[in-house]
Structure 1
Amino acid sequence: MSGIVVHLPRGSGGADGEPGGGAVTLRLGPGEVARFGRGSSTTPVELRLADEAISRLAGEIRVTDDHWQLTNHSTTQTYLVENPEGAGEYLRVSPRRAGAPIPFEFSRVVLPTRRGTNVSFQVFAPDHVYLDPPGAGGSWGASRTVTAYSLDETATYFLVLVALCEPWLRDQSPVAVPTTPQVVERLRGHATGGGLTARAVSSHIDYLADEKLRIGAAAAANEAGAGGCTGTAAAGDRRNGKRDAVVALALKFAVVREEHLALLPPRAEAGARGR
């Protein structure tokens, strides 16, 4: 595993008695640690969680070669680690538990508070390690293989990717990358993706581009021909360029194939022809 991404949403941070601050994103490699809690001048933390029910040093995240671990420093509070892609799947990390291994690719770490809503942050662990095929020879330590593009075909981000690639796979003409609103509409009625908002779809596209397919911002801008644009127009071009680059790479390396279209809900026009 090349590392993890930790994201604290806007409004969750801030100092005691102050409104939550802006969003925080950390990138951690193997062996690195990030601490979380209320923090203070004598107890520095990388993720500051603004709630009086949370300890100054509430816990820490540690990255290993093939997973990440969560330590709970609280003496009284149990933390939850939820799998947003797992239909309610979660695990508990009890008080004083050290180095609990977390198996999820997407995780939401939830800390209890005295308010109506709990405090949480997300952890993304993009890369997976696989054994070489039987007969490849060599020991496990010498033959560990990391896939070039490690995607979970049951995850919502992959569903979004399939929807983006659908026009090419169905050989429609003229071919254009679906817009974010078009992806939202295309997934409407899907069991897990039917409730996605435009913001959620954009977040999945960002995750695909930045973490799963590792398409740099400069490359995405070049794809869109964004040179010379400023302000809102440039931001729109970068967004379009990122979508174009994601689709181009996914199709070029057969990350998404025709059989993946079965993951999408039936098309409305197909139902109309059937009637």
Structure 2
Amino acid sequence: MFSVIIVPDGCRGPEEQYRLEPGHTLRFGRTAPAGNGLTISHPAVACAAGEITATGAFWILTNFSSDQTYIVENPEGAGEHIRVAPGRADAPVPFEFARVRLCAGESRPGCGFDVLAPRHDYLAPSGSPAGGALVDGSGADGAAVEGTLADGARGAEDWSFDPFPRPYPLDHTCHYFLVLTALCEASLRTGDAAAAPVPGVAELTERLHPVWPDATPAAVAWNIDYLRVKLRLRTPDDRDKVREALVRFALRFDLVQEEHLAVLEGQLV
């Protein structure tokens, strides 16, 4: 199962993306290896610029350049970024969503790419519906974790008794969780998933504007597609069917519950 998706600038669909399984590497540059590398046709990019290596839950970046510092940004992190110095090998990147900028100064078209790491894991709190079970063997080897988290780090939930990742890990602070919650809102409020209508992209965009002012139909649709990848749903390409499948799946596995509706009012849970 792939753990990293590289999306080149100008990518028009999944067939133009690069998907890496753990341990696999992709080289990139102005003259990247033919057939198995990412070519970036920009004069400011080195001929052999660097490489990305996938792991189970994150990825590492090596900078082959002798004079360019690469910036890796977290688009959902309010300015969060890391700098990868010239010649730096195996710099770990912890972001689920990342923008790699290869050129110094202002952003230049065609001078970078996006990297997605949909297999980020999150611990299941004690007593959660996830129950600590694993799916497809991803994320953990089942070994016991010694010790407990400090009381001050637990917040509202107790994370100390279930060291295993959630079967379907979702970051409740990300835009995709807002979209998934808005998709499930009608079903949760009525208590009847079969009868509740599944909102369209335009309705979702309008619903999310109060908490996500920059939401656009394109951004909402992108997050729906990303959820399909992250949750490994095998559904037809029909957009209506994808939204319906996401709602059924989320409610079946308690990925979105009634208390999560607070995120639609700007409260993180």
TM-score by length of 1: 0.75
- The alpha-carbon distance between structure 1 residues 32 and 84, as it changes in their structure 2 partners (threshold 3 A), is same
Q: What residue is the counterpart of 1:126 in the other structure?
A: 118
Is the 1:82–1:108 contact (alpha carbons within 8 Å) kept by the matching residues of 2?
A: yes
Q: What residue is the counterpart of 2:159 in the other structure?
A: none
Aligned partner (choices 17, 20, 45) of residue 25 of structure 1: 17
- The alpha-carbon distance between structure 1 residues 171 and 99, as it changes in their structure 2 partners (threshold 3 A), is same
Is the 1:39–1:56 contact (alpha carbons within 8 Å) kept by the matching residues of 2?
A: yes
Q: Find the aligned partners of 1:78 and 1:11 in 2 and give their Cα distance.
A: 24
Residue 151 (str. 1) matches residue 142 (str. 2):
no
* Amino acid aligned to 1:27: R
Q: Find the aligned partners of 1:141 and 1:172 in 2 and give their Cα distance.
A: 37
SS state at 2:46 partner: coil
Q: What residue is the counterpart of 2:188 in the other structure?
A: 169
Q: What residue is the counterpart of 1:117 in the other structure?
A: 108
Trace 1:139-218 onto structure 2 (pairs within 5 A).
142-143=142-143, 145-171=164-190, 175-190=196-211, 193-210=212-229, 212-216=230-234
RMSD: 3.0
Superposed CA offset, 1:68-117 (max 9, x none) = 10001111111100001111100100100000001111111111168862
SS state at 1:143 partner: coil
- The alpha-carbon distance between structure 1 residues 156 and 114, as it changes in their structure 2 partners (threshold 3 A), is closer
Residue 24 (structure 1) shift: 2.6
SS state at 1:264 partner: helix
SS state at 1:75 partner: coil
- The alpha-carbon distance between structure 1 residues 204 and 11, as it changes in their structure 2 partners (threshold 3 A), is closer
Q: What residue is the counterpart of 2:262 in the other structure?
A: 262
Structure number with higher helix proportion:
1
Q: What residue is the counterpart of 2:135 in the other structure?
A: none
* Amino acid aligned to 1:110: R
Identity value in percent: 43
Residue 70 (str. 1) matches residue 61 (str. 2):
yes
Is the 1:38–1:55 contact (alpha carbons within 8 Å) kept by the matching residues of 2?
A: yes
Alignment: residue pair count: 232
Point out the structure with max Rg over C-alpha. 1
Could you list the runs of 4 or more consecutive aligned residues of structure 1 that deviate by over 4 angstroms after TM superposition? 42-45, 113-116, 129-134
Superposed CA offset, 1:233-274 (max 9, x none) = xx6xx11000100111001111001111111138xxxxxxxx
Q: Find the aligned partners of 1:243 and 1:194 in 2 and give their Cα distance.
A: 22
Trace 1:45-124 onto structure 2 (pairs within 5 A).
46-112=37-103, 117-118=108-109, 119-124=111-116
Structure 1: 5+ residue runs without aligned partners? Answer: 13-21, 222-234, 267-275
Q: Find the aligned partners of 1:201 and 1:97 in 2 and give their Cα distance.
A: 36
Structure 2: 5+ residue runs without aligned partners? Answer: 127-131, 133-139, 145-163
* Amino acid aligned to 1:215: L
Is the 1:6–1:122 contact (alpha carbons within 8 Å) kept by the matching residues of 2?
A: yes
